[in-house]
Amino acid sequence: MNYIDPIEIKELRKTEHERRIGRTEGGDDIMSQLGTVVQQYVGLASNPDVHTMEKPPTIIGISKREHPYQGESWLMSRPLRPSWIRRRSELVFTIPGCTREFVAGEEEMGTWHSFYAESYCYAVSNLKLKKDGRMIKQLPQGELENLFAEVDFEDFKFDPEGSIGSLAKSNEFHGDNIREVRFEDLCFCINCECLILQDDVSEGFCGECGCSNPEHPAYEDVRDFNNIFDEYF
């Protein structure tokens, strides 16, 4: 887990741009911005040890924010699988918004399949640090904001319906109908960025925003765009 630097992500989201996702039967290009924000690098909230630098782990960003209706809420970002970790001062390029001492990154630029996403997820707060067993929600704010540590995902349980970041609000919303699943049963919708069930993707429907292609905006050269506005908006 790596605590998200909001300034770094704000700069990352400025890379959003239009790309061609297909062409109509009339020959007009169909453009979309979905999936164009791709995270290739991330600043680490604290300094890694030698073992971590030699064998970079999968990195998942987390943060705690105030939600207008849910109150104190937790968020989780789409996993980044870096191939290296280096000091920022050693890089021959700059990462907009990044001020942290160490950076993890991919060797090659990812595609729109690696789009950046953040979803509200109350399960984050209950994950335990492997080094001392404390839950993330038990960490003081100062320690939380400098968190880059291994966590135990065995306790990850989340009901994605409603995209809720507060456990109390989740209990209030779901009541006895809560249906929690493990992290490997979830993925991020490319349209609304919410965590959704893998089964929703296979069925071609996002239960949160209703888009018909939760994992991609469209295949190249697809000819059937009857639901194009439903898909994107």
Mean pLDDT, the chain, integer: 88
Q: Which domain holds residue 11?
A: 2-183
pLDDT tens for each residue of 123-157: 999 999 999 999 999 999 999 999 999 999 998 99
pLDDT digits (tens, 9 = 90+) for 171-211: 999 988 899 999 999 999 988 999 999 988 888 888 898 88
Classify residue 123: in a domain, yes or no. Answer: yes
pTM of the model: 0.88
- Whether 207 is in a domain gets the answer no
Asked, for residue 131, whether it belongs to a domain, the answer is yes
In a domain, 110, yes or no: yes
Query: In this structure, what DSSP letter does residue 13 have?
Result: H
- The pLDDT score that the predictor gives to residue 233 is 37
Number of structural domains the chain divides into: 1
> What is the rounded distance in angstroms from the CA atom of residue 33 to the CA atom of residue 39?
15
| pLDDT score for 223 | 46
Answer whether residue 230 is part of any domain: no
Beta carbons within 10 angstroms of residue 17's beta carbon? 9
Task: For residue 166, tell me if it sits in a domain.
Answer: yes
Would residue 178 count as lying in a domain?
A: yes
Q: Residues 6 or more apart from 30 whose CB is under 8 A from it?
A: 20, 21, 22, 23, 24, 218, 225, 228
Q: Looking at per-residue confidence, does 156 or 19 come out higher? A: 156
Stated as kind and residue range, the H or E segment containing 85 is: strand 84-87
Domain membership flag for residue 195 = no
Q: What is the pLDDT of residues 55-66, one digit of tens each?
A: 999 999 999 998
